[in-house]
A and B are shown apart, each in its own frame.
Chain A
Amino acid sequence: MQRDEKMKEKGSGLSRRTFLKVSGISLSVPVVLGHRTIKVAGAEVEVYGPGKVPIALTVNGAKHTAEVEPRVTLLEALRHELDLTGAKRVCDRATCGACTVIMDGKPVYSCSVLALEAQGKQITTAEGLLRGDRLHPVQQAFIDNDAQQCGFCTPGFVVACKVFLDKNPNPTPEEIQKGLGGNLCRCGTYVGVRAAVAQAANQYPNRKGGGNQSTSKGGR
Chain B
Amino acid sequence: MAEYKWPEPEKRSLIGKRISRVDGPAKVSGKAKYTYDIKRPDMLYGKVLRSPHAHAKIVSIDTSAAEKMPGVKAVKVIQEPGTEIKWAGDEIVAVAAVDEPTAEDAIRAIKVTYEKLPHLVVEEDLSAAGDNAKPAAEQTAGEPEKAFGEAEVIVEGFYGLPVITHCCLESHGSISEWEGDQNLLVHISTQAVSNVANQIGRPLGIPAANVRVKQDHIGGGFGSKFQVDRWDVTAAQLSKMAGGKPVKIMLERDAELMVAGIRPSAYARVKVGAKRDGEIIAWQSESWNTGGSGGGGSPPLPYVFSVPNKHTQHTGIATNTGSARAWRAPNHPQGCLVTMSALEDTAARLEMDPLDFFLKNIELAGRFAEVYREEFAIAADLMEWKKNWHQRGAKTAGPVKRGLGLSLHTWGGGGHGSNCDVIIHPDGSVEVKMGTQDLGTGTRTAIMMVAAETFGLPLEAIKLMIGDNQFPTSGASGGSTTIGGVSASTRRGTLDALEQLFEKVAPSLNVQPADLEAVAGRIRVKSDPRRGLSWKEACMKIGGTAITTRGRNPGPGTLNSSGVGGVQMADVSVDVETGIVRVNKVVAVQDCGLIIDLKTAESQVYGALIMGVCYALYEERIMDARTGRMLNPNMEFYKLAGLGDIGELVVHMMTGKAYDERGVIGLGEPPVISPGAAISNAVANAVGVRVPSLPLTPDRVLAALQYPDREGGSSKNGGNDAGI
Q: List 12 A-B contacts (CB under 8 A).
A: A80-B39, A86-B30, A90-B635, A95-B636, A139-B28, A151-B28, A151-B440, A152-B34, A158-B30, A181-B642, A186-B167, A191-B646
Contact B30 A184 (CB under 8 A): no
**Which one, B23, B27, B610, B644, contacts A177 given CB within 8 A?**
B644
Contact A218 B648 (CB under 8 A): yes
Residues of B within 8 A of A192 (CB): 603, 606
Q: Give the CA-CA distance A206 to B523 in the complex, in Å.
A: 49
Question: Known contacts being A83-B39, A143-B24, A150-B217, is A130 close to B609, with CB within 8 Å?
Answer: no
- A92 CB within 8 Å of chain B: yes
Q: CB-defined interface of B12-33 with A at 8 Å, one 1/0 digit per residue? A: 0000000011011111111111
Q: Give the CA-CA distance A181 to B650 in the complex, in Å.
A: 21
Contact B30 A143 (CB under 8 A): no
**Which one, B607, B635, B648, contacts A187 given CB within 8 A?**
B607
Question: Known contacts being A144-B20, A149-B607, A220-B648, is A127 close to B220, with CB within 8 Å?
Answer: no
Question: Known contacts being A84-B30, A191-B646, is A150 close to B606, with CB within 8 Å?
Answer: no
Question: Known contacts being A139-B29, A143-B20, A150-B440, is A184 close to B170, with CB within 8 Å?
Answer: no
Contact A76 B169 (CB under 8 A): no
Contact B29 A150 (CB under 8 A): no
Q: Which residue of B lies closest to A177 (CB)?
A: B644
Contact B27 A127 (CB under 8 A): no
Measured CB to CB, the closest approach of chain A to B515, in angstroms, equals: 40
**Which one, A95, A154, A178, A217, contacts B635 given CB within 8 A?**
A95
Q: Give the CA-CA distance A154 to B32 in the complex, in Å.
A: 10
Q: CB-defined interface of B386-427 with A at 8 Å, one 1/0 digit per residue? A: 000000000000000000000000000000000000000000
Question: Known contacts being A91-B635, A152-B34, A158-B28, is A218 close to B651, with CB within 8 Å?
Answer: yes
Q: Give the CA-CA distance A147 to B25 in the complex, in Å.
A: 12
- B608 CB within 8 Å of chain A: yes
- B647 CB within 8 Å of chain A: yes
Which size bracket describes the interface of B in this complex? Answer: 35 or more
**Which one, B439, B608, B644, contacts A150 given CB within 8 A?**
B439
Pick the 3 closest A-B CB pairs, nearest first.
Answer: A86-B30, A188-B610, A152-B219
Residues of A within 8 A of B635 (CB): 90-91, 93, 95-96, 184
- A56 CB within 8 Å of chain B: no
**Which one, A3, A84, A143, contacts B25 given CB within 8 A?**
A143
Residues of A within 8 A of B643 (CB): 176-177, 180-181, 183, 190, 193-194
Measured CB to CB, the closest approach of chain A to B163, in angstroms, equals: 17
Q: CB-defined interface of B22-63 with A at 8 Å, one 1/0 digit per residue? A: 011111111111101101000000000000000000000000
- B104 CB within 8 Å of chain A: yes
Measured CB to CB, the closest approach of chain B to A214, in angstroms, equals: 11
- A213 CB within 8 Å of chain B: no
Q: Give the CA-CA distance A183 to B641 in the complex, in Å.
A: 10
Q: Which residue of B lies closest to A84 (CB)?
A: B30
Contact B218 A150 (CB under 8 A): yes
Q: Which of B222, B608, B610 gathers most chain A CB within 10 Å?
A: B610
How many A-B residue pairs have C-beta atoms within 8 angstroms? Tell me: 193
Contact B36 A181 (CB under 8 A): no
Q: CB-defined interface of B359-395 with A at 8 Å, one 1/0 digit per residue? A: 0000000000000000000000000000000000000
Q: CB-defined interface of B226-253 with A at 8 Å, one 1/0 digit per residue? A: 0000000000000000000000000011
Which size bracket describes the interface of A in this complex? Answer: 35 or more
Contact A219 B607 (CB under 8 A): no
Contact B169 A152 (CB under 8 A): yes
Question: Known contacts being A95-B635, A151-B27, is A186 close to B640, with CB within 8 Å?
Answer: yes
Contact A93 B646 (CB under 8 A): no
Q: Which residue of A lies closest to B600 (CB)?
A: A146
- A129 CB within 8 Å of chain B: yes
Q: Give the CA-CA distance A131 to B108 in the complex, in Å.
A: 44
- B460 CB within 8 Å of chain A: no
Measured CB to CB, the closest approach of chain B to A197, in angstroms, equals: 9
Q: Which residue of B lies closest to A130 (CB)?
A: B29
Contact B636 A93 (CB under 8 A): yes
Q: Give the CA-CA distance A139 to B34 in the complex, in Å.
A: 19
Q: Which of B23, B169, B253 gathers most chain A CB within 10 Å?
A: B169
Residues of A within 8 A of B26 (CB): 151
Q: Give the CA-CA distance A181 to B647 in the complex, in Å.
A: 13
Within 8 A of A (CB), among B491-512: none
Q: Give the CA-CA distance A49 to B252 in the complex, in Å.
A: 25
Residues of A within 8 A of B646 (CB): 190-191
- B564 CB within 8 Å of chain A: no
- B149 CB within 8 Å of chain A: no
Residues of A within 8 A of B607 (CB): 149, 187-189
- B599 CB within 8 Å of chain A: yes
Contact B441 A149 (CB under 8 A): yes
- B602 CB within 8 Å of chain A: yes
Residues of A within 8 A of B171 (CB): 90
Within 8 A of A (CB), among B591-610: 599-600, 602-604, 606-610
